[in-house]
Amino acid sequence: MSFAAAKAIIKHSRVKAVLLDLDGTLYFEGAQVPGAVQALTALRKLGIPLRFLTNTDSKPACILRRELAAMGLPVAELEIFSAASAALRFLWEHPDSRSYCLVSSELANEFAPFHAEEGAVDYVVVGDFRDSLSYRVLNAAFRHVMAGAKLIALQKGRYFVSGEGYNLDTGAFVHLLEYGSGKTARVLGKPSPDFFKLAIEQIGCSPHEVVVVGDDVTTDIAGARAIGALSVLVRTGKYSSETLENSPVKPDFIVDSISDVPPLLGEASNLTQHGS
């Protein structure tokens, strides 16, 4: 497909928002992807709302914004949409429900209006709760699920790697509760379609009016395709041609990096459609 044809598809879909993955798309291994700031500036000039996606479930947007600023990436707090943002949005959309929320101390304030320490609950919400993890807390969550509460996971990562080595991630504890209860958690982080739907609802447009840009075909692209949004895969971060070839999910478009995204939406560049 020619660039003009690809651009025509984008134009025809009347794009009203762009959802950009952060890790691997705008930055990688602690530094900006080359051209990321210029691409952000160009995207902002188009006047389209932007949202920056991350599966982070341990920190509030104000801290993520500072971390991005330290890497030279100017992003507003309200533009950041994390797994925690998705859970907060979900709880906000269920105002009559009661929830037992296992989250980090940094997120405790934001979840406090929804958290019920005592009594029956409708949802058990599990995020990164390393700093309050105990048998008592886990078992309280387990009892709620056994009593009929629905299990909600901010994300289901098995482990993450820090400077000290491997660490159990949120998914390991969600799995523990799933195993004990025989129930399956509803995941609100990537690659769940819920994550993308909740982000788009917040902007106030429809999935077909949105372009999702990311480096991960199994999360960013799979989520975009599941809700009917256009998807752009960048060849940065964790992109690998092998993963793409083996994936049953294919992006609508593939570009070298975030630098090629503004031209796709507004100007001209080196774009290839998948399969061409």
Name which of 169 and 216 has its Cβ closer to Mg ion.
216
Give yes or no for residue 23 binding Mg ion (CB under 5 A). yes
Q: In sequence order, which residues have a C-beta less than 8 Å from that of residue 118 and are 6 or more positions away?
A: none
Question: Where do runs of H (alpha helix) occur along 96-217?
Answer: 108-111, 135-146, 170-181, 193-203
CA–CA distances in Å: residue 202 to residues 17, 79, 107, 129: 11, 10, 20, 26
Name the β-bridge partners of 52: 20, 80
CA–CA distances in Å: residue 175 to residues 123, 167, 186, 203, 216: 16, 15, 12, 32, 23
Give yes or no for residue 106 binding Mg ion (CB under 5 A). no
Name which of 21 and 260 has its Cβ closer to Mg ion.
21
How many residues lie near Mg ion (CB under 5 A)? 5
Among 194, 215, 252, 260, which residue sits at the site for Mg ion (rule: CB under 5 A)?
A: 215
* Nearest distance, CB of residue 217 and Mg ion, angstroms: 10
DSSP state, residue 115: B
* Nearest distance, CB of residue 60 and Mg ion, angstroms: 20
Cα gap 56→65, rounded to integer Å:
12
Give yes or no for residue 21 binding Mg ion (CB under 5 A). yes
Name which of 39 and 121 has its Cβ closer to Mg ion.
39
* Nearest distance, CB of residue 109 and Mg ion, angstroms: 27
Among 7, 10, 19, 24, which residue sits at the site for Mg ion (rule: CB under 5 A)?
A: 24
Cα gap 120→144, rounded to integer Å:
7
Contact 55, 157 (CB under 8 A): yes
Give yes or no for residue 209 binding Mg ion (CB under 5 A). no
* Nearest distance, CB of residue 212 and Mg ion, angstroms: 11
Tokens 């949004």 identify what position?
229
Give yes or no for residue 260 binding Mg ion (CB under 5 A). no
Give yes or no for residue 194 binding Mg ion (CB under 5 A). no
Name which of 216 and 260 has its Cβ closer to Mg ion.
216
Name which of 65 and 144 has its Cβ closer to Mg ion.
65
Name the β-bridge partners of 21: 53
Cα gap 216→224, rounded to integer Å:
11
Per CB under 5 A, the segment of 1-9, 53-61, 78-86, 207-215 that binds Mg ion is 207-215
Give yes or no for residue 251 binding Mg ion (CB under 5 A). no
* Nearest distance, CB of residue 270 and Mg ion, angstroms: 21
Count of beta carbons in the 10 Å neighbourhood of residue 248 = 7
* Nearest distance, CB of residue 237 and Mg ion, angstroms: 5
Our measurement of the distance from residue 158's CA atom to the centroid of its chain's CA atoms, rounded to an integer in Å, reads 16
Give yes or no for residue 68 binding Mg ion (CB under 5 A). no
Q: Which residues bind Mg ion (CB under 5 A)?
A: 21, 23-24, 215-216
